[in-house]
Chain A
Amino acid sequence: MNSEGLFVAFCTILDKEVGRFLRIWAQTIVPPAVSMALYFMIFGHLIGPRIGEMGGFTYMQFIAPGLIMMSIINNAYANVVSSFFGAKFQKHLEEMLVAPIPNWIILAGYVGGGVARGLAVGLVVSGIALLFTHLHVRHFLVVIAVVLLTSVLFSLAGLINAIYARKFDDISIIPTFVLTPLIYLGGVFYSINLLPDFWQAVSRANPVLYMVNAFRYGLLGTSDVDVTMALLVITAFVVALTAFALLLLERGTGIKT
């Protein structure tokens, strides 16, 4: 297939993926918007004033970047894991496997779908955040880079989860027992400076901490970690997961007999 054909194949997968999550918007866009509105209401509006300032900002302002990032992470992951596993389970993934599409195009198409949903939900949640507080973008390029890299990273993670999954339970185990704890302990609701030294060090092993803080730096100009280091960590994870996902697709792990 020539480069034009590859581009058409990529756009086809992307179009199918975006069409899928838009078609079921009540399941994909609305629930995160509702739950984030509740977070802003309860933690920001009701409890926040009693907590006071954090890092020089109101608590509502402080948690807003973390909640936006949390919705991007969850939705980028959920989109790819459910779509890829669904295609595998219903066997229509075979439509792609019998076609002359290189694995990197399949990967790019699915990741593109995950990024699109992550961005769509991120924008909706940002809109909700603006109903509760003021947000000003301090470092536009950092915001763009962190959002894109994070949504790519968790789309890749979702794809790897779907490749290994054999039953529907397998696609909910990682989000429940790995992703959620990492996000909640990744500095969404607090600054790690509040923790004892030992737990600060433990927190630094959590990759989500770097994403949340880099995004918070982009919006508020404050961060618990060095932003350059954060971008490097996220990029390193993206490179490693891309290589691993391609290896799995090349081997046909979980998708070929």
Chain B
Amino acid sequence: MVRPVARPDPSRMINALEIRGLEKTYANGFRALKGIDLHVPNGDFLALLGPNGAGKSTTIGIISSLVRKSAGTVSVFGVDLDQDPQKAKSLLGIVPQELNFSMFETCLDILVHQAGYYGIRRRVALERAERYLMQLGLWEKRNDQSRTLSGGLKRRLMIARALVHEPQMLILDEPTAGVDVELRRSMWSFLLDINNRGTTIVLTTHYLEEAESLCRNIAIIDKGQIIESTSMKSLLAKLNTHTFIMDLDRPYDSLPLVHGYSLHAIDPTTVEVELTKEQDMNELFLKLTESNVRIRSMRNKSNRLEELFIRLVESNKLN
């Protein structure tokens, strides 16, 4: 899957989403958001990451008007959510974390009703419902009650419902949670496609591979604060070391000492090695070959973004 290059477009001067000083304190005194600032350019595909309870869903809840903020401002394409909520809402499509459609309605009815809530006449709503149900592979299920769908198809139905009024920005709160790999990858393609056609997307996910594959920019939230907000490229560039796992051709009683490289045996046939950006992988292979150690295969220990994410969150904990 190839992340398309951002195209220059004069209409993208305005931010799709602008959050300033957003705070939320719940009735029990818990401060879920401690004054966050976030800017999402028009046309962006932003990953909003954070551990559980960091404030991601609260932020999305406030943007979608389901949670009342304690302080701060939110504007969508320049429209202030407090001053003109109807206009701002019409620009947004929301895919919440929890399933929130009527379990007794059919897929088609769910989409047609949702379009109706946006003032879209039934004839147009039916056309759009057909289009999005087809695009998301739900057309065959259009007359089935939503409760009969599998978990993955229910997630797709939520995306179709959020798109039926053709919003300019789509916010997805863990849309692929519990979805199998095949279905997840087809959802990625679909999201990339609508982003390429101009829809701004904000995505929260715990699958960091997903964020790395799809998103152009990234914001990391922890304990109600944004601790990092940058482009995916520059964030990944911060990762100074890579940890690799190497599978050896046979069991070795002891590993040779390779000067300048830190090798750690996980078991007699598996070795972990940490390489800095400056170190040469060819040189390591050469030295191992000279010591009669042969490598059968090699892989990353973990996703690069995952390593960075854990480091940032850990460092925030220490701070």
**Residues of A with Cβ closer than 8 Å to B?**
1-2, 4-6, 8-9, 11-13, 15-16, 23, 87, 90-92, 94-102, 252, 256-257
Contacts and interface: CB of A to CB of B under 8 A. Distances in A.
**Pairs of residues from A and B, 6 with the lowest C-beta to C-beta distance, nearest first:** A5-B119, A12-B116, A99-B117, A100-B86, A91-B100, A100-B89
Nearest to B120: A8
Contacts of A1: 86, 90, 118-119
Given A252-B68, A257-B26, A257-B66, A101 B117 contact: yes
Nearest to B32: A257
A100 B126 CA distance: 20
Nearest to A255: B66
A87 B86 contact: no
Interface stretch (B4-12, B41-49, B91-99, B224-232): B91-99
B258 interface: no
B65 A12 contact: no
Nearest to B89: A100
A95 B86 contact: no
Contact of B116 (A2, A11, A252, A257): A11
A98 B86 contact: no
Interface in B78-128: 85-87, 89-90, 92, 94, 96, 98-104, 113-114, 116-122
B67 interface: yes
B35 interface: no
A17 to B, nearest CB: 11
26 contacts: A6-B119, A8-B122, A9-B116, A9-B117, A12-B116, A12-B117, A15-B113, A87-B102, A91-B99, A92-B101, A94-B66, A94-B96, A94-B100, A95-B114, A96-B117, A98-B65, A98-B89, A98-B94, A99-B114, A99-B117, A100-B86, A100-B118, A100-B119, A102-B86, A257-B67, A257-B68
Contacts of B117: 9, 12-13, 95-96, 99, 101
Contacts of B122: 8
B75 interface: no
A257 B58 CA distance: 9
B308 to A, nearest CB: 32
Nearest to A106: B117
B152 interface: no
A108 to B, nearest CB: 13
A95 B101 contact: yes
A85 to B, nearest CB: 13
Taking each of A8, A90, A100, which has the highest tally of chain B beta carbons within 10 Å of its own beta carbon? A100
A96 B61 CA distance: 14
A12 B67 contact: no
Contacts of B121: 8
Contacts of A96: 117
Given A90-B102, A252-B68, 12 more contacts: A1-B86, A1-B118, A8-B116, A8-B121, A9-B119, A92-B101, A94-B64, A95-B101, A99-B165, A100-B118, A102-B86, A257-B67
Contacts of A2: 119
Nearest to A93: B100
Contacts of A6: 119
B87 to A, nearest CB: 7
B102 A100 contact: no
A99 B98 contact: no
Given A8-B116, A87-B102, A100-B86, A256 B68 contact: yes
A95 B100 contact: yes
Contacts of B102: 87, 90, 92
Nearest to B112: A12
Contacts of B119: 1-2, 4-6, 8-9, 100
Contacts of B26: 257
